Every structure is written in C-alpha cells, then in structure tokens.
Amino acid sequence: MNYSELAVKHQQVVQFVEENRIKEAMDSLGSLAAYCVNRELSLQLDTHRDTYRSMLTYSFELGDDPEKEQVIGDEEAARGLNPTYRAPWKLL
C-alpha cells in the first residue's frame, strides 16, 4: 500500500467516524491493520471491537436510561413520548 492509498483509507475512516458509522470505521481500520507487521495493532482493534459490542449490548438490552428517551428537534414527537391522559387514566 502506498502513501496515497493510505491517505484515502485514513480519510475514509475519519468520515465514517464523523458520520457515527463506527462499525465501518473499525472494518476499514482492520483492513489497514492487516498490512501492518505489528500484530499489536490488530489486537488493540479487537479489544476496541469487543468494547464497542459491550457498549451496544448495554445500551440496547440492559440499560434503562430515561435520558435516551427523548427526541431532539421535533416537539410533536417529543410530546408523544409523554402523552397527557384524561382522568382517571394515568401512566404507571
């Protein structure tokens, strides 16, 4: 891999991260790490992948975080999260 190919790959990784496309960024980093003689880079990337998977598992399956349950920039959708009920009905 020459310098210009490396620069293109680097820019691709940066763009993926800016767009919150973390899996694609890690996949691109993995293809770069395959070219390296230093196996430590691949091991570090594997560790980051494991950490990312754990974070996703926690945030989608295990965590009940009320702060996540909000809609930013759409007041109508935000009102739908906490609707007003007529008496005697109430949300438990």
Sequence ranges of the domains in the chain:
3-80
Query: In terms of pLDDT, which residue wins out, 21 or 59?
Result: 21
Whether residue 2 is predicted with pLDDT greater than 80 in this model: the reply is yes
In this prediction the pTM is 0.57
DSSP 19-68: TT-HHHHHHHHHHHHTT-S-HHHHHHHHHHHHHHHHHHHIIIII---GGG
- Distance, in Å, from the CA atom of 10 to the CA atom of 16, rounded to the nearest integer, reads 10
